[in-house]
Structure 1
Amino acid sequence: MDGHDLDRTADAAIACALRDDADGLAALVLPMNAGDLRRLVARLAARSAESLTGWAADAGSTREDTLAMWQAAMLRAERDRTAEE
């Protein structure tokens, strides 16, 4: 899978996630080989970081602020998950 196809697949995966479409997401990734799947995961992580830092910059935050907010959100999610168990 070339970079263009990975970008298109990443866009489709993001659209599935925003629609809460697990079946659509599964249909995208099940036929992928392990190497392409790893590249897709890396592409999704990079796109997520770009989006978060872009939105944060628009709100006047720095990249470091964005990282701190992300880490706080992950800690909060972990705490909530632990509390549910």
Structure 2
Amino acid sequence: MHGIDLDRTADAAIACALREDVDGLVTLIRPLDAAELRRLVGRLAVRAAEGLEGWAADAGADHEQAVSMWQDAILRLERAREHDPGD
């Protein structure tokens, strides 16, 4: 392993995603081995959950409500995919 800094790499990956910079993201993850990539994916999932919980808390929601909002969003996405399977 290259000894990557997971937090900094996750920050860079999120920045690429926000800029819709696919080439930057590819450049970022290309040198990672499989174990590093799995750790990065896990870290990104944690960051997504933290972000959702922070947003939910700002909106006055508790943890269970945040989970419910996430589940509702996933169900809406699945329904949209059923209507437009082109994605």
TM-score by length of structure 2 reads 0.90
Task: Return the letter of the residue paired with 2:47.
Answer: R
Q: How far is the alpha carbon of 1:75 from its aligned partner?
A: 0.8
Distance in 1 of aligned mates of 2:22 and 2:78: 22
Work out the percentage of aligned pairs sharing the same amino acid: 61
Partner of 1:84: 84
Q: How far is the alpha carbon of 1:60 from its aligned partner?
A: 0.5
Aligned length: 83
Higher helix content, 1 or 2: 1
Stretches (4+) displaced over 2 A: none
Residue ranges of structure 2 left out of the alignment (5+ in a row): none
Q: How far is the alpha carbon of 1:51 from its aligned partner?
A: 1.0
Distance in 2 of aligned mates of 1:82 and 1:23: 29
TM-score by length of structure 1 reads 0.92
Residue ranges of structure 1 left out of the alignment (5+ in a row): none
Coordinate RMSD, CA, aligned: 0.9
- Map 1:2-41; keep pairs closer than 5 Å: 2=4, 5-41=5-41
Q: How far is the alpha carbon of 1:28 from its aligned partner?
A: 0.8
Distance in 1 of aligned mates of 2:9 and 2:48: 14
Map Cα deviations across residues 2-51 of structure 1 (whole Å, 9 max, x no partner).
5xx11100000000000011111111111100000000000000011011
SS in 2 for 1:74: helix
Q: How far is the alpha carbon of 1:59 from its aligned partner?
A: 1.1
